């Protein structure tokens, strides 16, 4: 049993992007452990593909900061770096605020309808014991926000920042913030956009980012091996 979701053998999509998404998903969902060593050849073997598409994926994941490639030595899944998580949050807060601001200015009816539909689905998914469906919808929600602002570049950045924050969220899944609060904030954001009320939307968004920081120190104490130490960059440990 592999840590990667198997590739659909009937898909006509190129292998490269599918391998990339599969590896990324495994990292963000912590099925690839922070700090774990991975090798291009070994991962290629697991996918039944050649090293080339895996190499391309590694290049992209290194750019996102999810992998650390040490030339001629090896590659490891980036440990969770509290600084990186906080920095990603700063970036995301700035970019997503600008996104919401523009969404307020545009108020695209189709995108707002898509957001409303997504909100309904969130309410349903929140009732399930399995959090996976909700997390997927949460991702979709923020993608739709960027679409609503007609800012695809913003989504690329938010997606990257989010990946670092999501690993922490996955780590704290049992004692996570009640989903009801998140949904309430989501609804307030959409309401703000629909009303063209930037201040309200911005306020709701900024609440959305407050939770994470509090849980970080406890998690770091509980799972020290998954966290980056400020010193020591050796391959060992």
Per CB under 8 A, residues contacting a copy of itself are 14, 56, 59-60, 63, 65, 71, 84, 87-88, 90-91, 93-95, 97-98, 102, 151-154, 157, 161
Q: Closest Cα to residue 83, out of 186, 168, 189?
A: 168
Round to whole Å and give the CA distance between 208 and 182: 7
Task: Identify the burial level of 121 via C-beta atoms within 10 angstroms of its C-beta, where 0-12 means exposed, 13-18 middle and 19 or more buried.
Answer: middle
In this chain, which stretch among 2-10, 22-30, 40-48, 193-201 interacts with DNA, using CB under 7 A? 40-48
The answer to whether 6 contacts DNA (rule: CB under 7 A) is no
How many residues in the chain? 237
The answer to whether 145 contacts DNA (rule: CB under 7 A) is no
Round to whole Å and give the CA distance between 217 and 222: 9
The answer to whether 217 contacts DNA (rule: CB under 7 A) is no
- Smaller CB distance to DNA: residue 17 or 217? 17
> Would you give the binding string for DNA spanning residues 63-102, x where CB under 7 A is met?
------xxxxxxx---------------------------
Q: Closest Cα to residue 133, out of 122, 142, 144?
A: 122
Among 28, 32, 53, 138, the residue binding DNA under the rule CB under 7 A is: 53
Residues between 180 and 199 that touch DNA (CB under 7 A)? none
And the tokens for 10? 């009937």
- Smaller CB distance to a copy of itself: residue 38 or 157? 157
Cβ pair 154, 95 in contact under 8 A: yes
- Smaller CB distance to a copy of itself: residue 59 or 195? 59
Round to whole Å and give the CA distance between 61 and 160: 10
Taking CB within 5 to 8 Å according to partner kind, which of DNA, a copy of itself, none is near residue 91?
a copy of itself
Round to whole Å and give the CA distance between 124 and 158: 25
- Smaller CB distance to DNA: residue 20 or 155? 20
């Amino acid at each position: 049993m592999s840590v990667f979701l198997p590739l659909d053998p009937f898909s006509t999509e190129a292998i490269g992007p599918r391998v990339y998404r599969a590896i990324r998903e495994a990292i963000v969902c912590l099925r690839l452990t922070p700090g774990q060593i991975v090798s291009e050849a070994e991962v290629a073997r697991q996918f039944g593909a050649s090293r080339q598409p895996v190499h391309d994926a590694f290049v992209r994941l290194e750019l996102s900061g999810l992998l650390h490639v040490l030339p001629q030595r090896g590659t490891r899944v980036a440990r969770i770096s509290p600084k990186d998580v906080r920095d990603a949050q700063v970036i995301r807060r700035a970019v997503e605020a600008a996104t919401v601001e523009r969404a307020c200015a545009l108020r695209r009816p189709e995108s707002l309808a898509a957001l409303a539909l997504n909100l309904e689905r969130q309410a349903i998914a929140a009732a399930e014991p399995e959090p996976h469906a909700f997390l997927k919808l949460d991702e979709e929600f923020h993608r739709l926000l960027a679409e609503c602002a007609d800012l695809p570049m913003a989504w690329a950045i938010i997606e990257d920042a989010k990946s670092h924050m999501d690993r922490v969220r996955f780590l704290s899944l049992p004692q996570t913030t009640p989903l009801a609060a998140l949904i309430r904030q989501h609804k307030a954001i959409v309401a703000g956009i629909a009303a063209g009320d930037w201040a309200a939307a911005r306020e709701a968004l900024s609440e959305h980012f407050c939770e994470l920081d509090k849980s970080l120190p406890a998690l770091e104490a509980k799972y020290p091996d998954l966290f980056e130490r400020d010193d020591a960059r050796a391959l060992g440990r």
